[in-house]
Structure 1
């Protein structure tokens, strides 16, 4: 018989800003996790065809989830832990924080 454990949750929240939109997440979540938890599925588009992109692999192998964080470009949102006060910018998706693909 297996013993069940309640899911541990953080009491600490973080707020990141996608452009000017504040998004709240749990401490320890990745930037992609915070974006997805707030309904943001698209935060960049491809250069030539302007096709929507967000998370594809979720493990840092592809480059679909790239964002700019605190002025640093080309950060993989699925790998970067969100920190309170982070400023996240999408690429080519007006307005930032488009909440649907």
Structure 2
């Protein structure tokens, strides 16, 4: 899978492990979750409205397009939440429990 973001500067920052949809990946110190996720995969999350994967939009916490879930069910904005060692993030509808991810009936 290709990444949507490519790190071209500050490549020497210390990295740490986070888990995304059950797969371990790396984040760099100072990354937001959005940067950590999009430097390791091509999309940020599933849309809760059934129109596919999303990649964020405004990058500053205004548009509501970057919500992801922590493995414990807490919902956070990826664009403003700092990545931290050991975080476990859920970005796929099929990985979160029924009744947690809001859905629109088909």
Counterpart Cα distance in 2 of 1:77 and 1:44 = 13
Provide the TM-score with structure 2 as the length reference: 0.68
Counterpart Cα distance in 2 of 1:42 and 1:76 = 11
Partner of 2:76: 75
Unaligned runs of 5+ in 1: 1-6, 95-101
Aligned residues: 87
Task: Specify the structure having the higher radius of gyration (Cα).
Answer: 1
Q: 1:70 to 1:28 in 2, by over 3 A?
A: farther
Provide the TM-score with structure 1 as the length reference: 0.71
Instruction: Could you list the structure 1 runs, at least 4 aligned residues long, displaced by more than 3 angstroms after superposition.
Output: 7-11
Partner of 1:50: 51
Q: Greater RCO between the two (CA within 8 Å, min separation 6)?
A: 1
